[in-house]
Every structure is written in structure tokens, then in C-alpha cells.
Amino acid sequence: MKELIRRTTGFEVAMEPDKDHVVCSSTDNDTATLPRYARLPINRCNLPAIILGSLTFQHAPAPLQIDGVAELHRDLFRRLDNCDEREKRAEVFGDYLTVRFCLEDLAEAGLTERSEKRANANWMRVLRGWSFNSDSREGAILKGWVESRFGLLPRFHKEPLRDFSGAAYLRYLEMRSSGLYGTNALESQLDLVFSYGQYEYQRSQQAGESLLLYRGINRLNEHEVLSKTGKRQIVLFNNLTSFTASRERASEFGDYILSTRVPTDKIFFHHDLVPGVLKGEDEYLVIGGIYDVDIRTF
């Protein structure tokens, strides 16, 4: 395994017990790999967390595919292939999720009148909940979904998550569990949201490209900096983080502006993908890991 990772990523992975905020040694001083404390050993996609969360992936991305989605939902992607208009494909996608998960007829999904209220937590409500507050129960659901599918552990939810037996992490787990309990295959709905977005990027020939995105912050210590050279920093982001394509918009959220190039392969959602779900904000939900970041004042 060590040799496979070394040949794939160029990294020498230390196998000794982890120490807080120690980055795995690299054969290239300009790169950094995902620390062990920020990842799981397994996930549910085609690349392990140590690769998809690394700086190498930012510079040389590859398609990310969640296990089983293409096989279980062939009919959706066949229908999308037959649509030439992007707006029509968004309608097809929304209709497919509504019918597949009985979102407008929860009794058809086998839910009782008592359980229907909890099952109303669908993919659109979760995304809207995140847009209001990423530390909400919906935020915990999404961070937990990223953890499950991509193996990237959350680093922040209301407060830093560093001790996985500590009170902060247990509160996050409680919010995640209560948010998922009794829902109608909510994480499977999110699988399709990500997969549909990736389909659209491939269809528009943007797959593998990188977008320049911004994030406003008030304190530089809000993020985990793994290394620093002048205004360039190697930053470990939370496993799901909001960005915007507008530098001016980012300035509304803080005095410091982080800018980085994000591969479309790691964009979970953007309002253009399904119009009407998120309104009024040019927000990108980005899967985390390590990024090469420029930090400046506005």
C-alpha cells in the first residue's frame, strides 16, 4: 500500500502514530498530502481520501465517482443524454428524484403519518439549510455525507473538531444522526446531486477544469495552515466549504480574502446546476482537503 500511494501521488506516507498537525512527509517540498487525522482509511468512491484530498489532486484532478450511482440510476443518465437543453436536463433531474424517492407521496415510500414529517428532509431542504447556516443540522448531514462518501473527516462544526472522543465531535455526531434519522434515503439523494453536477460539468466540457473561487474570513487562524510562504499558504479546509466566484461578494464575509483554484471534480453543488434551489447567492459547495491558497486583504 505504501508503494502504491508513493507511485500514485509522489508521497512517502509515514506509518507511525499521528501527531497533531503533522503533515506526512513528501518527496516534493512544494506539495503536501492529507494528514491521517483528517481522513478515513476507506470511502465509497473511486479514489481514496489520501489522493482526492491531496494538493496533487488540486493541480492534477481526476473524475470522482460515488460507488454504485451510475449502475443504479442508468435510466436517469440515459434520459439526460437525450436532452440537449441544460434547463430541460435540470427538470429531468428534479423530476427523477421526486419520483424515485416519492418526495411528493411519502406514503408510497412506506412512511406512516407519524414518520412523514421527518422524511420531509430532502435534498433541497438540506441545501437550503446549509445556505442559511453551515453549522446547522443540515450542515452536519452534508459534512457527514462527505465523510461517508469521500473519507474526508470534518474539521469544524460550530467549533473545531480535533478530538474524536471529545464533546464537540459527539455533538456533531448527534446532529448528523438526528438529521438522518427517519429520512427517505437522504444520503442517496445527495449522491445523485453530486453525480448530476459532475455529469453537467462533463457535458459542458468543464470536467477537469479549475475555477478561481474566493472565501472571506475575519481571522487568519480560522483555517488550518499546513505551510506558508509569503501570501501563499497550504491550507487544510473543512470537508465541505462554501466559496463564491465573486471576490466582492467574498469581501462581505470578512476582511481577508482566500482565493484558490478548485477543480470542478470537487464541486458538490452550485446554484446554476439546478436553478431555483439556492437563490440570491453565487455559492459553490466545495469538497475539502488540501488547497494552495492566496490570502490577501480586500
- Per-residue pLDDT, averaged over 99-127, amounts to 74
The more confident residue out of 256 and 182 is: 256
Listed by start position, the domains of the chain span: 69-203, 210-297
pLDDT digit string (tens) for 60-84?
999 999 999 999 999 999 999 999 9
Q: What is the DSSP string of 127-142?
A: HHHHHH-TTSHHHHHH
Give the model's confidence band at 6: pLDDT under 50 very low, under 70 low, under 90 confident, else very high: very low
pLDDT band at 138 (very low <50, low <70, confident <90, very high): very high
Instruction: Read off the pLDDT of each residue in 142-148 and give the average, rounded to a whole number.
Output: 98
Has residue 286 got a pLDDT over 80? Answer: yes
Alpha-carbon distance of 205 to 28, in angstroms, equals: 31
What is residue 66's DSSP assignment?
Answer: B
pLDDT of amino acid 281: 65
| pLDDT for 29 | 40
The position carrying cell 434520459 is 79
Please give the mean pLDDT across all residues of the chain: 86
Q: Is 32 exposed, middle or buried (0-12, 13-18, 19+ CB in 10 A)?
A: buried
More confident site: 223 or 51: 51
Q: Is residue 16 predicted with pLDDT exceeding 70?
A: no
Q: Using CA atoms in the order 104, 109, 113, 116, what is the torsion angle rounded to 10 degrees?
A: -60
pTM listed for this prediction: 0.86
Express as a percent the part of the chain with pLDDT over 70. 83
Q: Where are the beta strands (DSSP E) in 137-255?
A: 156-157, 159-160, 210-217, 224-229, 232-244
- Coil, strand, or helix at residue 207? coil
Percent of the chain whose pLDDT exceeds 90 = 66
User: Is residue 208 very low, low, confident or very high in pLDDT (cuts 50, 70, 90)?
Assistant: confident
pLDDT at residue 290 greater than cutoff 70: yes
